[in-house]
Amino acid sequence: MNASITTLSIGFLTLASSIAFARPPHAAHFDIDQDGQITRAEVESRAASKAQEVDADGDGLISLEELQADHARRQLERMQARLDEADSNGDGVVGQDEFSAQIVEHVFARDSNNDDVLNAADRGERGARRPRPGQR
Residue of 1, 3, 91, 132 that binds Ca ion (CB under 5 A): 91
Could you give the CA distance from residue 49 to residue 123 in angstroms, rounded to a whole number? 40
> Near Ca ion by CB under 5 A, which window of 5-13, 31-39, 75-83, 121-129?
31-39
Q: How far is the CB of 99 from Ca ion (least distance, A)?
A: 9
Could you give the CA distance from residue 52 to residue 21 in angstroms, rounded to a whole number? 19
Residue of 10, 33, 80, 113 that binds Ca ion (CB under 5 A): 33
Under the binding rule (CB under 5 A), the answer on residue 37 touching Ca ion is yes
Residue of 7, 43, 51, 55 that binds Ca ion (CB under 5 A): 55
C-beta closer to Ca ion: residue 31 or 105: 31
Taking a C-beta distance cutoff of 8 angstroms, is the pair 81, 133 a contact?
A: yes
Under the binding rule (CB under 5 A), the answer on residue 59 touching Ca ion is yes
Could you give the CA distance from residue 66 to residue 72 in angstroms, rounded to a whole number? 10
Number of residues that bind Ca ion (CB under 5 A): 11
Residue of 31, 84, 105, 111 that binds Ca ion (CB under 5 A): 31
Q: How far is the CB of 2 from Ca ion (least distance, A)?
A: 20
3-state helix, strand, coil in the chain (%, to 5): 60, 0, 40
Q: Which of 14, 17, 136 is nearest to 81 (CA)?
A: 136
Taking a C-beta distance cutoff of 8 angstroms, is the pair 26, 36 a contact?
A: no
Q: Residues in the chain, how many?
A: 136
Interacting residues with Ca ion (CB under 5 A): 31, 33, 35, 37, 55, 57, 59, 61, 87, 89, 91
